[in-house]
């Protein structure tokens, strides 16, 4: 697509439920990134992919968080057994390739606002 | 590890005032530096960038100069408008070899411009 698309825009879930957040990057972009942004804070890195390969998942806070990008395009971030502390804006971004990042930065989607009640 | 420190907000200015938002960084190598902006209700947008020392990034009247000697990338605008009200984030990237192309962000500075 023309931009990075994330869905849903808003998600309210009960504590203990699993949630899946979707990211559709710019068509042809090799690299896809997930970030989490708490209220009043800057985005924090979670994980990233080149094509379908997960290159770095060091930012995932614990094993309840996982991500996949099985066909090298759309990615899903899954949070199992959600907790209130998981409430945040989850942002996806893409880049034409990993080298391009230091020259062009990322293109971000509008984010998914997750609220765990 | 890499880190970015921004001046604390919020910052409130009158229209046509001069703006400076300070940003300093810590990095192991020679990062690229960025300013992103988040307008109310919208996503993060790249405002400007600089990829090497002494480069000046500019866009929409905003400027920032990459100062290696002071490890800084301060954002400036000579005359702000109400429409500049937003949250501004400073960020760096050390590149794929060093940090796997991740961006490291500061905490953001809220700017409000009053008419």
- Rounded to whole angstroms, the Cα distance separating A23 from A110 reads 10
Across the range B19-47, mean pLDDT stands at: 93
Question: What is the rounded average pLDDT for all residues in chain B?
Answer: 93
Q: How would residue B99 be classed by pLDDT, with cut points 50, 70 and 90?
A: low
| Helix H or strand E segment including B89 | strand B86-93
* Contacts A104 to B, Cβ<8 Å: 46, 49
Neighboring chain B residues of A33 at a CB cutoff of 8 Å: 102-103
- A56 contacts in chain B (CB < 8 Å): 100, 102
Model pLDDT, residue B96 = 65
Q: Is B23:B6 a contact under the CB 8 Å cutoff?
A: yes
Distance of CA A62 to the CA centre of its chain: 15
Q: Is the pLDDT score of B9 beyond 90?
A: no
Q: Nearest C-alpha of chain A: how many angstroms from B108?
A: 6
Q: Return the ∠ at Cα A113 (arms to A112 and B2), rounded to 5°.
A: 80
Residue A1's pLDDT is what?
60
Which residues, listed in sequence order, are joined to residue A54 by a DSSP beta bridge? Answer: A49
Helices and strands counted in chain B (H then E):
1, 12
Q: Give the pLDDT confidence of B53-87 residue by residue, as tens digits.
A: 999 999 999 999 999 999 999 999 999 999 999 99
> Residue A19 — very low, low, confident or very high, per pLDDT cuts 50/70/90?
very high
Average pLDDT over residues A6-18: 97
Residue B11 has a pLDDT of: 96
Q: Do B95 and A99 touch (CB under 8 A)?
A: yes
pLDDT in tens, A35-71: 999 998 999 999 999 999 999 999 999 999 999 999 9
| A41 to chain B: closest CA residue | B107
- Peptide linkage before B10 cis (omega within 30 of 0): yes
Å from A16 to nearest chain B CA?
Answer: 28
Instruction: Locate A17 and state its tokens.
Output: 């439920």
Nearest to B44 among A48, A98, A108 (CB): A108
Q: Which residue from B47, B39, B41 is spatially nearest to B91, judged by alpha carbons?
A: B47
Q: Which residues of B touch A44 (CB under 8 A)?
A: 105
């Amino acid at each position: 697509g023309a931009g990075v698309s994330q869905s849903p825009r808003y998600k309210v879930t009960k504590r203990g439920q699993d949630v899946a957040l979707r990211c559709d990057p710019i068509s042809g972009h090799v690299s896809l990134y997930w970030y989490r942004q708490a209220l009043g804070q800057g985005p924090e890195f979670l994980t990233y992919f080149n094509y379908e390969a997960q290159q770095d998942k060091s930012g995932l806070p614990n094993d309840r968080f996982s991500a996949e990008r099985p066909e090298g395009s759309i990615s899903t971030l899954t949070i199992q057994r959600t907790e209130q502390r998981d409430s945040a804006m989850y942002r996806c971004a893409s880049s034409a390739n990993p080298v391009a990042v230091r020259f062009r930065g990322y293109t971000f989607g509008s984010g998914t606002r997750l609220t765990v009640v | 590890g890499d880190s970015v420190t921004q001046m604390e907000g919020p910052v409130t200015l009158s229209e046509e005032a001069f703006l400076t938002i300070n940003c300093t960084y810590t990095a192991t190598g020679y990062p690229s530096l960025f300013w992103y902006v988040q307008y109310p209700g919208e996503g993060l947008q790249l405002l400007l960038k600089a990829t090497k020392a002494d480069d000046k990034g500019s866009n929409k009247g905003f400027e920032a100069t990459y100062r290696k000697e002071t490890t800084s990338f301060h954002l400036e605008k000579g005359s702000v408008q109400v429409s500049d009200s937003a949250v501004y984030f400073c960020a760096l990237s050390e590149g794929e070899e060093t940090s796997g192309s991740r961006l490291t962000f500061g905490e953001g500075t809220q700017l409000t411009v009053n008419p």
